[in-house]
Chains A and B, each alone.
Chain A
Amino acid sequence: MPWITACATDDIDPEDLIRFDHGGQTYAIYRSPKGDFFATDGKCTHEAVHLADGLVMGHRIECPKHNGQFDYRTGEAMRPPVCVNLRTHRVRVEGGSVQIEVA
């Protein structure tokens, strides 16, 4: 599966995320408090609200609409009203760029 450059590493603050759109799909790219990068589908599995306006707390992303939470490393649903896990995508850093593997 192809790797796509999503952003530069310094486009995302530690403990934050940004939105990335590609090929008709939308993604969320995260930078953990320790500086590691992760990627998930962009929209909450509860009611398809984009997570990019949400709050990153440690390794959790909180949806901005209903406060449901996921572990963005694994996609696991952590707090109601989300019940369905979030799809994750592999990430690598190449020469200052964050790349994600897209289906």
Chain B
Amino acid sequence: MGKRDYSLLGPDARHAVDTGLAAAEWYHTDVPRKVMKALMQRTDGPALRDSVILFGCMITFAGIGIALWPSWWSAPFWLAYGVLYGSASDSRWHECGHGTAFRTPWMNDAVYQIASFMIMRNSATWRWSHARHHTDTYIVGRDPEIAVMRPPELAKVVLNFFGILDVLRFFPNLIHNALSGPTAAERTFVPQSEWTRVQRVAQVHLAIYAATLALALWMGSILPLMVIGLPRLYGAWHHVMTGLLQHGGLADNVTDHRLNSRTVLMNPVSRFVYWNMNYHVEHHMFPMVPYHALPRLHAAIRHDLPAPNRSILQGYAEMWPAFRRQLRNEDYFLKRALPPTAKPYRCDLHRLSPGTPVADTAPPHALPAE
């Protein structure tokens, strides 16, 4: 296997289309229709409760931070505010983008727009980017949301715990979008009918950042930026910490989410910030199930999934060594054992693909590939 080309316009993208990996049919665990219908049901209650808590805490923490500014006593409140602004926004963007968090469409849309701004994503572009992520999850050249490319650049991973690379990429892209709409790469997954919307969203975001910066200059203080903008840096660590676990160290170019996604059991605070996306195999297999029903979905299908990691720490103990091995051999990936009750991994398309898993001829319950 040669070096992977993650460009959406490159040879691996064409190869994925030619070999049938793009827009392929993926493995799904069998779930009775009545059970799935119950799991898919929408309701406003849980997301309304969580949104009141989230925005209430943000207002409270920011208010105390402003009141105590510039004393160092304000620091803990900014750190708490930052995690809600720079990390909880990621999961709200995600769930409301799927349209599953609330039953009422305008509530999904309102929280989606606010969260997109906080997490520094163009709400029009990223809706399509994420659709592609679900169509072609970790298909090289097709998925625009691959967090850690192979071989991993670990320094970049560490920098992004503080949002640095994301923000450095965001602003030039924002200006490009505001001036001339989507970039060439974005136009591969955003339909032309949405290009004007991409530009308009970018102009609104740019105007808010410009106004915040102007206020900071007028005040001669970074305080306005502590409220808007900077929390995307100092509060990003939690969404990066949890986000890396979603697919890190696992297979690419496969059509079975059990091979490329990870479920990790977590503490209740992280699950609130992350809105249950720790049940990530379940989410990818059945994206129409709302976040609040994912624990029930996990219980319904866990007989067919690899055992979940028991904690964030245990997830990192599995993932980080895999990253290090991928430095020497970018084809290396973790292939976790399935329980005896599970159906075998789906490997029929994989021999045709770039990045063919080196262990795809192993028996169904094989342990990590070497």
Contacts and interface: CB of A to CB of B under 8 A. Distances in A.
Contact of B42 (A57, A79, A80): A57
A66 B42 CA distance: 16
B128 interface: yes
A80 B197 CA distance: 13
B287 A66 contact: yes
Given A47-B135, A48-B23, A65-B287, A55 B99 contact: no
Which secondary structure dominates where chain A touches chain B?
loop
A93 B288 CA distance: 31
Among the interface residues A47, A65, A81, which one has the most CB atoms of the partner chain B within 10 A? Answer: A81
A4 interface: no
Interface residues of B, number: 23
A67 B98 contact: yes
A64 B22 CA distance: 18
Interface string A68-93: 01000000000111010000000000
B184 to A, nearest CB: 20
Interface string A19-63: 000000000000000000000000000111000011101000011
B99 A65 contact: no
Contact of B36 (A48, A53, A67, A80): A53
A9 B229 CA distance: 56
B288 A67 contact: yes
B42 A83 contact: no
B30 to A, nearest CB: 11
Contacts of A79: 99, 105
A16 to B, nearest CB: 7
Contacts of A55: 37, 40-42, 288
Given A48-B23, A53-B36, A66 B286 contact: no
A57 B191 CA distance: 26
A80 B103 CA distance: 16
B288 A54 contact: yes
Interface in B201-229: none
By Cβ-Cβ distance, the 10 closest A-B pairs, closest first, are A55-B40, A81-B131, A66-B131, A67-B99, A67-B98, A64-B288, A47-B23, A55-B288, A47-B135, A83-B191
6 contacts: A65-B287, A66-B131, A69-B99, A79-B105, A80-B128, A83-B191
Interface of B: 23, 33, 36-37, 40-42, 98-100, 103, 105, 127-128, 131, 134-135, 191, 193-194, 286-288
Given A65-B134, A67-B287, 20 more contacts: A16-B33, A16-B37, A47-B135, A48-B23, A53-B36, A54-B288, A55-B40, A55-B42, A62-B288, A64-B286, A66-B131, A66-B134, A66-B287, A67-B100, A79-B105, A80-B127, A80-B128, A80-B194, A81-B127, A83-B191
